[in-house]
């Protein structure tokens, strides 16, 4: 089975009504565009495009997102323009690909500066968060082929993934991708401990987990028959990086971390969640203070489930998570799951609103990752300097506003602007993702007071007014403002 056949099979399984002809067209289009290009691994470039799309299909995103995943590197790495993607695949897919292309413009020059720049672009992309999901899938495959890159690049990619991509994936509820991103990074971050934990957890404990799961299943099945509850039960997979973090942060040994055995139960309805909780509490004594009802009171990111810890068979502590199948998909796929429903905007907007509401007053980049604040940027645009830095401006801002945001003297001496490689007027309204370069005149004495008619930022207005006052033309300035 070819990589493309595998992709079609996954799409058909998870999205049976999808238009596979459009997927085939996208594959042919991308394959032709990337013809002759190879990755550092020596593989054809199209393999990366298919790997990205495969991840998106596995987390059950909508077909537009999967197609955009196939096409995501075409405008950046080939001669094909966004206009051709729009012509062949429509405006929705073109916008998703454009969002990925904009994220690709951010240049890495030190982690702190990179965090500040990239977080703004993620916020801009939040107009359609599927852009971020595609970026996570793209990064996941890059990590899987990281061994082909020089060590200094490996270190940089691991660092930015752990500080930027993984936390945002978690914030948006795409836990399946966050776990994979973190575990792949852990492999390069501390390979010795990675191998040690992998052997202990995935190999040595496997028999014990299987034995206990089977024992719990047998006990529960007798009770659930009485209440006619249909369910699935399995051991909850722990992720190596999270184990390692707990060991570091709490200064505990591996065995101390694993005094609690975790299991997950999936049922068909909310009422069955509470029935199953009753069954478990009837069978085993609950541990005091370890019950949480995230169904009646969901977490801010929309997470719903019942959590309880009990003294189970052999007096072993067992943590149960009880949720419906839909809750489970939302928990591991996050925003990606919302596009599977006929009216995705309603559940998504409520869920996203709750996430956005808690993000306030971030003190620094580290705090920002905990409290990612989208809402203050609702009326902002994000544009690039020629060096790849990101400048945020209010909607309606012009190249003059941009110039003053970069440096006062650049604003004072600007005479022309190049926007997306075209000369534009200084009163041109900038748009999200524009690449802006300011042409200055060394001997220019100061700004033109006529700029006050169109500038939007206070820094531009204040500097123009200050210059006018110093030149003794403040009365002329006031007159121009009134008119």
Domain-located, residue 357: no
In a domain, 374, yes or no: no
pLDDT of 206 > 90? The answer is no
Confidence check: pLDDT of 403 > 90? yes
Number of domains in the chain: 3
**Domain residue limits at 98:** 3-187
Q: What is the pLDDT of residues 92-131, one digit of tens each?
A: 999 999 888 877 766 555 656 555 655 555 555 556 778 8
Please check whether residues 221 and 331 belong to one and the same domain.
yes
CATH number at residue 312: 3.30.460.10
- Give the pLDDT of residue 147: 92
Nearest to 150 by CA among 40, 37, 39: 40
Q: What is the arithmetic mean of pLDDT over 395-403?
A: 93
- Three-class SS state of 149: coil
Residue 226 domain flag: yes
Q: Do 273 and 397 belong together in one domain?
A: no
CA distance 53 to 218: 39
Residue-level pLDDT at 180: 93
Q: Exposed (0-12), middle (13-18) or buried (19+): which is 327, by Cβ within 10 Å?
A: buried
Contact of 420 with 435, CB cutoff 8 Å: yes
Mean pLDDT computed over 8-13: 94
pLDDT over 70 percentage in the chain: 78
Three-state DSSP state, 343? coil
In a domain, 424, yes or no: yes
Position 433 pLDDT exceeds 90: no
- pLDDT of 380 > 90? The answer is no
Q: What is the pLDDT of residues 127-181, one digit of tens each?
A: 677 888 899 999 999 999 999 999 988 988 998 888 778 877 876 778 888 889 9
pLDDT at 362: 42
Asked if residue 148 and residue 15 are part of one domain, the reply reads yes
Cβ(432)–Cβ(383) under 8 Å?
A: yes
Domain check: are 181 and 241 in the same one? no
Predicted confidence at residue 301, as pLDDT, reads 59
How are beta strands 317-324 and 260-267 bridged, if at all?
parallel
DSSP state of 349: H
In this prediction, residues 223-232 reach a mean pLDDT of 83
Look at residue 362 and tell me if it is in a domain: no
Domain match, 292 and 399 both: no
Last residue of a domain, one of 272, 304, 337: 337
Boundary (domain end) residue, out of 304, 337, 370: 337
Name the nearest CA neighbour of 126 among 376, 332, 343: 376
Does residue 111 sit within a domain?
yes
| 102 shares a domain with 14 | yes
Residues 67 and 157 in one domain: yes
Residues 313-344: tens digit of each pLDDT = 888 888 899 999 988 888 777 666 555 443 44
Residues with Cβ within 8 Å of 48's Cβ and at least 6 positions away in sequence, in order, are 39, 73, 138, 141, 142, 145
Which residue's entry shows tokens 């500040």? Answer: 116
Encoded tokens for 452:
């006050």
Q: Give the C-alpha separation, 275 to 21, whole Å.
A: 45
- Report if residue 88 sits inside a domain: yes
CATH number where 419 lies: 3.10.20.30
CA distance 315 to 423: 75
Which listed residue (58, 62, 76, 314) is catalytic?
A: 76
CA angle 415, 421, 422 (to 5 degrees): 60
Give the gyration radius of the chain's Cα atoms: 27
Residue 76 annotated among the catalytic residues of the structure: yes
My answer on whether 150 and 216 are in the same domain is no
Of the residues 306, 337, 368, which one is the last residue of a structural domain?
337
For residues 51 and 113, membership in a common domain is answered with yes
pLDDT tens-digit map of 18-28: 889 999 999 99
Q: Is the pLDDT of residue 356 over 60?
A: no
DSSP letter at 414 equals E
Of the candidates 21, 73, 77, 83, the residue annotated as catalytic is 77
125 and 249 share one domain: no
CB atoms within 10 A of CB 109: 12
Q: What is the pLDDT of residues 441-463, one digit of tens each?
A: 988 888 998 999 999 988 899 89
Catalytic residue status for 77: yes
So what's the pLDDT on residue 458? Answer: 86
Confidence at 204, pLDDT banded by 50, 70, 90: low
Instruction: Encode 234-261: b = buried (16+ Cβ within 10 Å), e = exposed.
Output: ebeebbbbebbebbeeeeeeeeebbeeb
pTM check: above 0.85: no
Of 381 and 286, which is predicted with more confidence?
Answer: 286
261 DSSP β-pair partners: 318
b/e sequence 183-195, b meaning 16+ C-beta within 10 Å: bbbbbbbeeeebe
Say which CATH number the domain at 49 has: 1.10.3210.10
Please choose, from the candidates 312, 325, 316, the residue with its C-alpha nearest in 3D space to the C-alpha of residue 217.
312
Secondary structure (DSSP) of 260-279:
EEEEEEEESSHHHHHHHHHH
436: enclosing H helix or E strand: strand 436-440
**Are 149 and 26 part of one and the same domain?**
yes
Alpha helix locations (H) across 61-190? Answer: 63-71, 74-77, 82-89, 91-103, 111-125, 130-144, 151-160, 166-171, 175-189
68 with 153, same domain: the answer is yes
Q: 284 and 312 in contact (C-beta within 8 Å)?
A: yes
């Amino acid at each position: 089975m070819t990589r493309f056949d595998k992709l079609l099979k996954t799409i058909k399984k998870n999205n049976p009504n999808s238009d596979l002809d459009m997927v085939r067209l996208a594959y042919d289009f991308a394959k032709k565009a990337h013809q002759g290009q190879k990755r550092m691994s020596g593989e054809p470039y199209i393999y990366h495009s298919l790997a990205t799309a495969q991840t998106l299909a596995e987390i059950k995103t909508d077909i537009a997102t999967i197609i955009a995943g196939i096409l995501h590197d075409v405008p950046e790495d080939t001669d094909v323009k966004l206009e051709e993607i729009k012509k062949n695949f429509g405006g929705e897919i073109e916008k998703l690909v454009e969002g990925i292309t904009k994220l690709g413009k951010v240049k890495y020059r030190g982690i702190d500066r990179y965090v500040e720049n990239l977080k703004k672009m993620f916020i801009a992309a939040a107009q359609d968060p599927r852009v971020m999901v595609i970026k996570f899938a793209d990064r996941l495959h890059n990590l899987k082929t990281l061994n082909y890159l020089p060590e200094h690049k490996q270190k940089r990619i691991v660092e930015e993934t752990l500080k930027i991509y993984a936390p945002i994936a978690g914030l948006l509820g795409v836990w399946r991708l966050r776990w994979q991103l973190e575990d792949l990074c852990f492999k390069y971050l501390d390979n010795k401990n990675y191998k040690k934990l992998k052997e202990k957890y995935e190999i040595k404990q496997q028999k014990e987990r299987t034995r206990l799961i089977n024992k719990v299943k047998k006990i529960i099945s007798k009770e659930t028959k009485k209440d006619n509850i249909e369910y699935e039960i399995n051991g909850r997979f722990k992720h190596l990086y999270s184990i390692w973090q707990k060991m570091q942060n709490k200064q505990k040994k591996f065995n101390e971390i694993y005094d609690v055995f975790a299991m997950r139960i999936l049922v068909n309805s909310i009422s069955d969640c509470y029935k199953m909780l009753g069954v478990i509490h009837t069978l085993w004594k609950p541990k005091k203070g370890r019950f949480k009802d995230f169904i009646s009171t969901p977490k801010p990111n929309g997470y719903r489930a019942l959590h309880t810890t009990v003294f189970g068979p052999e007096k072993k502590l067992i943590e149960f998570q009880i949720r419906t199948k839909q809750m489970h998909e939302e928990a591991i796929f996050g925003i990606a799951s919302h596009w599977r429903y006929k009216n995705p905007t309603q559940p998504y907007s409520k869920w996203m609103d709750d996430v956005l509401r808690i993000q306030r007053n971030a003190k620094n980049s580290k705090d920002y990752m905990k409290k990612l604040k989208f809402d203050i940027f609702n009326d902002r645009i994000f544009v690039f300097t020629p060096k790849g830095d990101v400048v945020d401006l209010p909607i309606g801002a012009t190249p003059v506003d941009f110039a003053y945001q970069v440096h006062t003297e650049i604003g004072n001496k600007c005479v022309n602007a190049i926007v997306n490689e075209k000369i534009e007027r200084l009163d041109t309204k900038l748009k999200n993702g524009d690449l802006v370069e300011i042409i200055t005149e060394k001997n220019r004495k100061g700004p033109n007071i006529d700029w006050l008619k169109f500038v939007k930022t206070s820094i531009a207005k204040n500097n123009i007014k200050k210059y006018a006052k110093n030149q003794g033309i403040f009365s002329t300035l006031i007159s121009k403002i009134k008119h």
